[in-house]
């Protein structure tokens, strides 16, 4: 398996623009997580899905953020409009079961977002 695939790897955008981050989880995994990592706040859980259904979005910073999982092999995280404070590395992770059945979460390589 190719692992969790995220695109793009890097994104530079101007403030106010819409940004869409994409994730393909590992086939067969039933949980998908979106995390944001910054130096100041560390790894923050934004939202997670179970069997394509959003379960907990309490970590989504504000209404500018939205996430979808239209099918088991694809998820998007959208920021509209983007702001400089959204600059961070965004990770997608997937797992089999909520705790990974002893195998933990598999993280993608991340998308480094810079909003100027």
Partner 1 sequence: GQQVMQIPQYQHVQEGEDFTTYCNSSTTLSNIQWYKQRPGGHPVFLIQLVKSGEVKKQKRLTFQFGEAKKNSSLHITATQTTDVGTYFCAGRGYGQNFVFGPGTRLSVLP
Residues that bind partner 1 (CB under 8 A): 42-43, 45, 48, 56, 91, 93, 98-100, 102-110
Nearer to partner 1 (CB atom), residue 65 or residue 91: 91
Nearer to partner 1 (CB atom), residue 51 or residue 80: 51
Comparing C-alpha atoms, which of 32, 106, 115 is closest to residue 72?
32
Nearer to partner 1 (CB atom), residue 81 or residue 107: 107
Q: Which two tokens stand for residue 25?
A: 């989880």
CA dist., res. 13 & res. 102, Å (int): 38
**Spatial contact of 43 and 108, defined as CB atoms under 8 Å apart:** no
CA dist., res. 82 & res. 63, Å (int): 11
> By 3-state DSSP, what share of the chain in percent is helix, strand and coil, each rounded to 5?
5, 55, 40
CB of 115 to partner 1, least distance (A): 20
Nearer to partner 1 (CB atom), residue 84 or residue 104: 104
CB of 114 to partner 1, least distance (A): 15
CB of 100 to partner 1, least distance (A): 7
């Amino acid at each position: 398996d190719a692992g969790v695939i995220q695109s793009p790897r890097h994104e530079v955008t101007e403030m106010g623009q819409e940004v869409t981050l994409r994730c393909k989880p590992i086939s067969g995994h039933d949980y998908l997580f979106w995390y944001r990592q910054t130096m100041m706040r560390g790894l923050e859980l934004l939202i997670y899905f179970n069997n394509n259904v959003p379960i907990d979005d309490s970590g989504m910073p504000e209404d500018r953020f939205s996430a979808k999982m239209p099918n088991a092999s694809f998820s998007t995280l959208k920021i509209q409009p983007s702001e400089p404070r959204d600059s961070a590395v965004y990770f997608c992770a997937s797992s089999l079961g909520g705790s990974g059945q002893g195998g933990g979460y598999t993280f993608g390589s991340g998308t480094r977002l810079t909003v100027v």
